[in-house]
């Protein structure tokens, strides 16, 4: 380690030595790379041990101070980058309503399929109930999202009004479906009602999804 | 004959044990949104996990010690700590997701809220780890997990347009309704789900638990090279079922109950019964593995006595660590966080932590001092280096993709 002709760091010198002495004799490139990384790790470990044993407290504190400044600088840079990226990602009301329309349609289509399966007796009631419950929870989420979306332009107001109307219909129909399923009522009427609502949500999605 | 049966059992448990909540959810989400256009990622992930799992098993069989123990010794405490931090935190997140997954699967069978099932699931996991033998635990969950083959059966029963599915899989493209960012975000997630770090640590520690020797390397290789790819086929079958039934209806998977819908459509109540049992077994088996992996990594790093082959009193800290991990998982789920959301984050963070997990394994598997003449060959090393590049790219891309796409929204 003492003879480092390039005058670089000890680690750099070791890597150079490995490259010169060993790599030439290793025909397999991949084994060479692994060997190199492996030796670098081993050297780093030896250096760490020596560092821990020999370094005095003052030098360690100085090193810590520098390192914490570097860490703080890095954190500020990452935070700034994230702010830039996030501000670039934020959209207006119409994309948010488009996304809500997609989520609403997905939930209603799910509920519709689950109820059709329950009606056809090809699934167990707990599975249909759970699926319906999850769909209702998802529609609730959409409702919250929609109510919290601020609108300014006329187009945004139109989108929100339309989505809210379809959403309210969906909430009512899903609630009826849950009641019917829990009560063990005949399901064909509820299934048909849900399919009609699913058509509406699909139309809403078709109209607003491209803007999401 | 006994040896053949042993190999068959190993392969079957490897298939049944391959899938966990991360694979189930991510494949279904991907199928419902991107069709089979991300099936290639499953292939890449399966080859990767086969490569590193067999490497890890070989290290354990030759040295008689678990991979993590050697990493700590070979690369020193700093590199070992980096490896431990990454693997352990992801493991904890995965454990949380698995317990939530058990509760969600039990909800499908009972309509009882998952909030009530979560403590029951965590207690059952602890009880099995405390009382049941390692081999019984592994074989039973793996074999019952085979019920998930119902996804492959459902795929045939659905009678899809095979040429259309093949076109999606072999000529992949980003669907018009999705952004390129979301496509690559889910590619990273799927890769992370296939290569979850706990699998290799569990595999190598399991080898020590079962006292593998050099003689067992062949069998472990068959288990991995046959069992895992067949498990990968099941992953693709889940995505394909979602592609056929959910994608045309515009259903985007956000809950476990939606994953069951295509199976019900194809095979009715019997198929649904199989899939629920399979999901419970897969998530329960993975919860056992992640809990044990948490104990293994901590104990192996700190040099504690570990292993299920020892009585709990002889490996007290190992067992306490696992109990604490279960309680942490329980506490996280008690906040009311959606287990599916935890799962989605766990697979992405898995991808981020992959380099810290797999690079040390590669270094150890090349160390002559530990491995002797069972060191990695040139072909294995060449593949492993290619995979390290892929892993690094996935790891670096994961967070920017997550931010840019709003976690794939």
- SS3 percent helix, strand, coil of chain B, rounded to 5, is 85, 0, 15
- Give the chain A residue whose CA is nearest to the CA of B386: A30
Q: How confident is the model at residue A2 (pLDDT cuts 50, 70, 90)?
A: very low
**pLDDT exceeds 70 at position A40:** no
Per-domain residue ranges of chain B: 2-405
Distance CA B198, CA B84 (A): 11
Which candidate in B29, B71, B81, B250 is best for mutational testing of the A interface (most A CBs within 10 A)?
B250
Closest Cα in chain A, distance from residue B372 (Å)? 15
In this prediction, residue B203 carries a pLDDT of: 85
What does the pLDDT read at residue A56?
46
Distance in Å, alpha carbon of A5 to nearest chain B alpha carbon: 28
Contacts of B384 in chain A (CB under 8 A): 30, 34
Least confident of B101-110, B323-332, B349-358: B349-358
pLDDT at A10: 59
User: How much is the pLDDT for A25?
Assistant: 47
In this prediction, what percent of chain A has a pLDDT beyond 90?
34
Angle at B100 between CA B94 and CA B104, to 5 degrees: 140
A95 vs A82, which has greater pLDDT?
A95
- Among candidate residues B185, B20, B188, B15, the one with its CA nearest the CA of residue B95: B20
**How far apart, in whole angstroms, are the C-alpha atoms of residue B278 and residue B15?**
12
Q: Which of B199, B192, B202 is nearest to B350 (CA)?
A: B192
Lowest mean pLDDT among A56-70, B271-285, B296-310, B345-359: A56-70
Residue B297's closest CA among B62, B41, B56? B56
Nearest CA in chain A to B261: A114
Which one of B108, B110, B381 has the shortest CB-CB distance to A34?
B381
- Given a cut of 80, is residue A54 above it in pLDDT? no
Q: How confident is the model at residue A7 (pLDDT cuts 50, 70, 90)?
A: very low
pLDDT given for residue B15 in this prediction: 75
Comparing CB atoms, the residue among B76, B363, B378 nearest residue A48 is B76
Q: Provide the pLDDT confidence category of residue B3 given band limits of 50, 70 and 90.
A: confident
Pair B10, B223: CB distance under 8 Å: yes
Three-class SS state of A81: helix
Residue A209 confidence (pLDDT) above 80: no
Q: Is the pLDDT of residue A33 over 70?
A: no
pLDDT range class, residue A78, cuts 50, 70, 90: low
For the segment B174-191, the average pLDDT, to the nearest whole number, is 91
What is the percent of chain B where pLDDT is above 70? 98
Q: With an 8 Å Cβ cutoff, are A31 and B378 in contact?
A: yes
Mean pLDDT, rounded, for B302-309: 89
Q: Name the residue among B251, B268, B404 with its Cβ closest to that of A109.
A: B251
DSSP symbols for B248-307: GGTPPP-SHHHHHHHHHHHHHHHHHHHHHHHHHHHHHHHHHHHHHHHHHHHHHHHT----
Per-residue exposure over A21-36, b if at least 16 CB sit within 10 Å of its own CB, e if not: eeeeeeeeebbbebbb
Lowest-confidence pick of A23-37, A160-174, B258-272: A23-37
Chain B residue numbers touching A44 (CB-CB < 8 A): 76, 78-79
Judged by CB atoms closer than 8 Å, whether chains meet at B78 and A106 is answered as: no
Which helix (H) or strand (E) is B229 found in, with range? helix B228-245
Would you say residue B161 has pLDDT above 80?
A: yes
pLDDT beyond 70 at A85: no
Q: CA of A99: how far to CAs of A189, B404, B409, in Å?
A: 30, 15, 8
What number of C-beta contacts closer than 8 Å exist between A and B?
119
Distance of residue B403 Cα from the nearest chain A Cα, in angstroms: 7
Cβ of A52: how many Cβ atoms within 10 Å? 9
Structure tokens at B347: 């697979």
* pLDDT higher than 80, residue B406: yes
Residue B243 has pLDDT above 70, yes or no: yes
**A160 has pLDDT over 50:** yes
Lowest mean pLDDT, pick from A89-93, A178-182, B276-280, B295-299: A89-93
**How far, in Å, CA of B314 to CA of B300, rounded?**
15
Q: Check whether B75 has a pLDDT greater than 90.
A: no
Residue A97 in contact with residue B235, Cβ under 8 Å? no
Q: Which CATH number fits domain B2-405: 3.30.70.2740, 1.10.4160.10, 1.20.1730.10, 1.10.10.10?
A: 1.10.4160.10
Cβ-contact B288, B128 below 8 angstroms: yes
Judging contacts by C-beta atoms under 8 Å, the chain A residues touching residue B111 are 125-126, 129-130
B338 in contact with chain A, both atoms CB, cutoff 8 A: no
Q: Is the pLDDT confidence value at A43 over 80? A: no
Q: Residue A96, Cβ neighbours under 10 Å: how many? A: 24
Q: What percent of chain B stands above pLDDT 90? A: 54
> What value of ipTM does the predicted structure carry?
0.87
User: Predicted confidence band at B35 (pLDDT cuts at 50, 70, 90)?
Assistant: very high
Across residues B227-233, what is the average pLDDT? Answer: 90
- For residues B240 and B30, what is the distance between their CA atoms, to the nearest angstrom? 9
Q: Do A123 and B269 touch (CB under 8 A)?
A: yes
**Does A42 have pLDDT greater than 70?**
no
């Amino acid at each position: 380690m003492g003879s480092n002709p390039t005058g670089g760091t000890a680690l750099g010198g070791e890597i150079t030595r490995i490259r010169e002495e060993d790599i030439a004799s290793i025909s397999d490139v991949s084994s060479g790379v692994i060997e190199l990384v492996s030796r670098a790790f081993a050297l780093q470990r030896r250096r760490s041990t020596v560092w821990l044993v020999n370094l005095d407290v003052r030098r360690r504190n100085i090193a810590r101070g520098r390192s914490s400044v570097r860490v703080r600088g890095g954190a500020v840079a990452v935070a700034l980058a994230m702010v830039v990226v996030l501000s670039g990602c934020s959209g207006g009301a119409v994309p948010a309503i488009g996304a809500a329309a997609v989520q609403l349609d997905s939930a209603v289509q799910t509920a519709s399929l689950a109820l059709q399966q329950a009606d056809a007796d090809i699934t167990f009631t707990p599975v249909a109930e759970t699926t319906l419950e999850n769909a209702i929870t998802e529609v609730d989420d959409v409702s919250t999202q929609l109510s919290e979306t601020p609108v300014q332009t006329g187009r945004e107001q139109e989108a929100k009004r339309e989505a809210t109307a379809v959403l309210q219909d969906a909430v009512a129909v899903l609630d009826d479906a849950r009641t019917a399923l829990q009560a063990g009522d005949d399901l064909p009427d509820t299934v048909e009602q849900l399919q009609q609502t699913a058509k509406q949500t699909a139309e809403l999605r078709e109209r607003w999804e491209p803007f999401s | 004959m006994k040896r053949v049966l042993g190999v068959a059992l190993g392969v079957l448990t490897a298939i049944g044990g391959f899938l966990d909540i991360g694979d189930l959810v991510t494949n279904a989400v991907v199928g419902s949104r991107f069709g089979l256009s991300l099936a290639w990622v499953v292939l890449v992930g399966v080859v990767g996990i086969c490569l590193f799992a067999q490497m890890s098993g070989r290290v354990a069989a030759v040295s008689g010690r678990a991979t993590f123990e050697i990493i700590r010794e070979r690369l020193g405490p700093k590199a070992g700590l980096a490896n431990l931090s990454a693997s352990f935190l992801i493991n904890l997140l995965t454990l949380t997701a698995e317990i939530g997954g058990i509760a969600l699967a039990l909800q499908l069978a009972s309509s009882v809220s998952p909030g009530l099932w979560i403590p029951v699931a965590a207690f059952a996991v602890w009880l099995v780890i405390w009382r049941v033998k390692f081999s019984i635990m592994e074989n039973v969950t793996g074999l019952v997990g085979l019920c998930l083959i119902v996804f492959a059966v459902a795929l045939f029963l659905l009678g899809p347009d095979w040429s259309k599915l093949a076109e999606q899989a072999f000529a992949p493209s980003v669907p018009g309704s999705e952004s390129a960012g979301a496509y690559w975000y889910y590619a990273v997630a799927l890769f992370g789900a296939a290569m979850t770090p706990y699998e290799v640590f569990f595999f190598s520690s399991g080898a020590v638990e079962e006292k593998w020797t050099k003689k067992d390397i062949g069998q472990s290789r068959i288990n991995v090279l046959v069992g895992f790819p067949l498990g990968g086929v099941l992953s693709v079958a889940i995505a394909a079922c979602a592609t056929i039934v959910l994608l045309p209806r515009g259903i985007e998977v956000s809950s476990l109950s939606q994953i069951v819908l295509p199976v019900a459509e194809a095979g009715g109540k019997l198929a649904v019964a199989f899939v629920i049992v399979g999901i419970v077994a897969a998530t329960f088996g993975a919860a056992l593995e992640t809990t044990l992996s948490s104990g293994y990594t901590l104990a192996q790093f700190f040099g504690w006595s570990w292993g299920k082959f020892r009585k709990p009193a002889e490996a007290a800290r190992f067992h306490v660590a696992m109990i604490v991990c279960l309680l942490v998982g329980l506490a996280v789920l008690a906040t009311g966080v959606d287990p599916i959301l935890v799962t989605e984050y766990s697979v992405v963070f898995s991808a981020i932590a992959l380099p810290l997990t797999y690079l040390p394994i590669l270094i150890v598997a090349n160390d002559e001092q530990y491995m002797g003449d069972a060191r990695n060959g040139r072909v294995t090393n060449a593949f492993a280096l290619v995979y390290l590049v892929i892993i690094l790219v996935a790891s670096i891309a994961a967070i920017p993709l997550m931010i840019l796409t709003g976690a794939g929204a």
